[in-house]
Structure 1
Amino acid sequence: MTPDTEDTLAQMIRETDDPLRIVGGGTRPVGRSTGQVLSTAGMAGITLYEPGALTIVARAGTPLAEIETALAAENQRLAFEPMDHRALLGTTGTPTIGGVVAANVSGPRRIAVGACRDFMLGVRFVDGAGNIIKNGGRVMKNVTGYDLVRLMTGAYGTLGVLTEVSMKVLPDVAAQTTLTLDGLDDVAAIAAMSAALGSPFEVTGVAHDPAAGKTRFRLEGFDSSVAYRAEALEAVLAPFGRAEQGETDWAAIRDVTAFADQPGDVWRISVKPSDAAGLAGRMGAKAVQYDWGGGLIWALTDGGDLRARMGDFSGHATLVRGAADAPTFQPEPAPLAAISAGLRHKFDPRSILNPGIMA
């Protein structure tokens, strides 16, 4: 099923009681949803782009590359730096903006500018009863009642099928550099990353690769500003070693390409940076990588339930790749699970949209 208009999509949903597996470009098959494939790829195209207002509106099936090309022509960008899962998951196809929003996909720059959710202005979607719903608009403002824009961002299609999204964009940067410390263990690396993030020098990426022994700190902005902040940040990092300045492939860090060709399950764990090193030590993982200053851990394992090995912890662990006999998403506490189930029933009373994906 590949509708090419919102009305056609609404009619398809109204006329079926069968479960539907919602996909965009098919590049992020996270979760265990079953059912007939319903693709949003037929609803594509940029419907409004106002560079002066830093706003873009596009249909859900619009390829991400098309949006990034249009923005680059005006020296603008999606500042939240959406990850490309294709290498890590071994998928093909074309990432779409609807898929990015549905999964709230964000990259290393999240620590500085926020996640995809923080750039959302408006959505249009079709709920599980076939109703066309619009929420938000083209400007950021406070809301009363449900903030459906942010509710839909990261809902993985369980509340409705996105048809159009409106987003805030930001200007691109003139210069970028990376400072790198060598040879730090996990505890020292997290301390160094925390020091950088606590400084006034606007670090836009902090990551640690234990296997390579590299701890990296990204600075972006105008040339003179980057040069000044790099020198100042070197002084902040001096207690941890001498930081070398150079270029780094942040797309590889964003996409976790180091795990792409290695067998095993891949987990994404969101925790407090102060807990990260101790938690990683309990994982028994083949390899780990840290992003977001230690707030995000990527773990490559031989299989099994990583949550059981870690025990109780404050955070969320998501099975991104693999066949472990464990829920894909972090099980919710009973009160929160009841709220989530109630929301899904309200928006999808027949439970036909991506059923089981949250199980």
Structure 2
Amino acid sequence: MSELDGPNTRVGGLFVCPQCRNRLLKQPESFRCVDCGKEYPVIFGIADFRIRSDRYLSLEEERAKARRLATEVEQSFSAMLDYYYDITDDVPPVLAARYKAYHYNSPRQARYSLERLGIASDDVILDVGCGTGGALIAAAEKGSQVYGMDIALRWLMICQQRLREQGISATLVCADIEASPFPDGSFSKIVATDLLENVYSVEKSLSAMGRLLKADGKLWLAGSNKFCLGPHPSTRLWAIGYFPGKWRRRLVTGLRGVDSLRFINLISPARIIRYAKRIGLHVNMLSPRMVALDGEGTYPAIDRVMIKIYVAVARLPLLRQLLIWIGPAFEMALQKAPHSKESKGVDQA
């Protein structure tokens, strides 16, 4: 559920305008900037602070899809998730089944990941790209103050229903990480799972998260590795990141019917570390992404077998190091240095 009245006072007093960074006034159905006058609607209880939508849909198309999820299907998490993939034409059924398993498994996965980050009850946590809310559920179990942000209102509609069913209170906002509605230095911990592959700019998004962190705050990142020798999660095609862009587009389109990588940033641990150093974020932990499977068998059988083999291999010291660079996914914890200048060097890259 989204609570736009109350918890916001814990994060810098008020939201700020994503466009000019000045104070916003809460109105019955919107927020209005006291300086530039821009107005941001509240849709189904979720404030929409976007200046632009994601790269898949326009703002109008995206809001229409969110309304369909809110009005045309039974209001349950499982029904809404099924309906989402039914009305999303560019996700083949074979991938939809795996994506749904990913969402069902996300709270269990997030519990494991947050243990590595070290969540405390007094933390103020932001999940950037929160999707269906797996990390929000895991963080709320720790008694932390929890905020979820996603550029896709359609995902927040599903997330809101999931949190409602779990009895979890969290503030959900629809926003672009490059233009967030939160004051700088608002959060002690930020979680970004599979986010950087989907943003407009990897560098600017990482810089924005650095600014949102308090001094000595920590950022936990996880992402798919461009240089994976095995199947890429978005395509299930082996070593696809090694192909030149033109060949990659033709191959993915020919084998999957649509280029599911057309708006995906292919990233690697080395690239993230390089950007992080420029903005004063220091790597505390880097490892292959460790997968925690649920006990309900939501992943297809072959995937469960492959995941178990991967986890076993990732525990072997020498192979573990190799998997960081050529494995399917990586995770890292970064810490903000006191007095860091998050934007220095990034905008010049």
- TM-score with structure 2 setting the length: 0.27
Tell which has more relative contact order, 1 or 2 (C-alpha 8 A, sep 6+): 1
- TM-score with structure 1 setting the length: 0.27
Bigger fraction of residues in helix: 2
Bigger fraction of residues in strand: 1
Structure 1 or 2, whichever has the larger Rg, is: 1
